[in-house]
Amino acid sequence: MTADAPPPSPRRNHEGALARLARACARHRWRTVVAWVVAIVAIVAGSATVGGTLVDEFTIPNSDAQRAVDLLEERFPQQSGDAAQVVFAVPEGGRLDEGDARSAVTAALEEAAAVPGVERVGDPFGGSAGALSEAGRIAFADVQYSQPTFDIPKESIDRLQEDLRAATEGTGVQVEFTGPVIQGSEEPETGTSELLGLLAAVIILLFMLGGAVAAGLPIVMALLSVGVGLSLLTLAAAVTNFNTITPVLATMLGLGVGIDYALFIVTRFRQGIHDGLGAEDAAAAAAATAGRAVVFAGATVAISISSLAVIGLDFITKLGLGAAITVVTAVTAAITLLPAILSLLGHRIDRLRVPFLRSRDDSHESRERSALARWGRFVTRNAPACAIAAVALLVVLALPVGAVQLGSSDAGTNPPDTTTRKAYDLLAEGFGAGFNGPLLVAVQQERDPGAAEHLAAVLRDTPGVDSVPDPTVNEAGDTAVVTVFPTTSPQSAETRDLVEELRGAVVPEALAGTGATAFVGGQTAAFDDVAQRIGERLPLFLLSVIGITFVLMSMAFRSIAVALKAAVTTLMSAFASFGILIAVFQWGWLQGLIGLDRTGPIESFLPVIVFSILFGLSMDYEVFLVSRIREEYVHGAGARPAITRGIAAIGRVVVAAALIMSVVFLSFLLGEDRIIKEFGLALGMAILIDAFVVRLLLVPAVMHLMDERMWYIPGWLDRALPRLTIEPPTSEERDDAGEEPPPPARAPAPVPEEG
Give the percent of the chain with pLDDT over 90. 20
Mean pLDDT of 509-537: 86
Average pLDDT over residues 440-463: 90
Give the pLDDT mean for 455-480: 88
pLDDT mean over 702-714: 84
Residue spans of alpha helices (H) in 467-599 = 493-501, 507-511, 523-557, 560-581
Residue 753 pLDDT greater than 70, yes or no: no
Query: How far apart are the C-alpha atoms of 641 and 746, rounded to whole Å?
Result: 9
Rounded to 5 degrees, what are φ and ψ at 417? -90, 5
Question: What pLDDT score was predicted for residue 747?
Answer: 37
- pLDDT(198) > 90: no
Counts for the chain of helices (H) and strands (E), in that order = 27, 14
Instruction: Return the top range by mean pLDDT from 3-7, 142-146, 743-747.
Output: 142-146
Per-residue pLDDT of 553-602, as tens digits, reads: 888 777 888 888 888 888 899 899 999 999 999 998 988 888 888 888 88
> Taken in order 236, 242, 245, 249, is the CA torsion positive or negative?
negative
pLDDT at 662 over 80: yes
pLDDT digits (tens, 9 = 90+) for 307-348: 888 888 888 888 888 888 998 999 999 989 999 998 888 888
Q: Is the pLDDT of residue 118 over 80?
A: yes
The rounded distance, in Å, linking the Cα atoms of 690 and 687 is 5
The rounded distance, in Å, linking the Cα atoms of 444 and 480 is: 7
pLDDT of 13? 56
Q: Taking the CB of residue 13, how many other CB atoms lie within 10 A of it? A: 16
* pLDDT at residue 224 greater than cutoff 90: yes
> What pTM was estimated for this model as a whole?
0.77
Question: Residue 136: is its pLDDT beyond 80?
Answer: yes
* Per-residue confidence band for 7, with pLDDT thresholds at 50, 70 and 90: very low
Query: Taking 70 as the threshold, does the pLDDT of residue 536 lie above it?
Result: yes
The pLDDT of residue 358: 61
359-415 pLDDT, tens digit each:
555 555 666 667 778 888 899 899 999 999 999 999 999 999 988 888 777 777 888
The dihedrals phi and psi of 566, each to the nearest 5 degrees, come to: -60, -45
Confidence (pLDDT) at 396: 96
Q: What is the pLDDT of residue 153?
A: 80
Kindly report which listed range (101-110, 366-375, 600-609) carries the lowest average pLDDT score. Answer: 366-375
What was the pLDDT predicted at 718? 79
| Cα 108 to Cα 170: distance, rounded to the nearest angstrom | 13
Determine the distance from the C-alpha atom of residue 318 to the mean position of all C-alpha atoms in its chain, rounded to a whole number.
Answer: 12
Q: If you average pLDDT over every residue of the chain, what do you get?
A: 82
| Per-residue confidence (pLDDT) for residue 734, from 0 to 100 | 38
Q: From the CB of residue 590, how many other CB atoms can be counted at a distance below 10 Å? A: 11
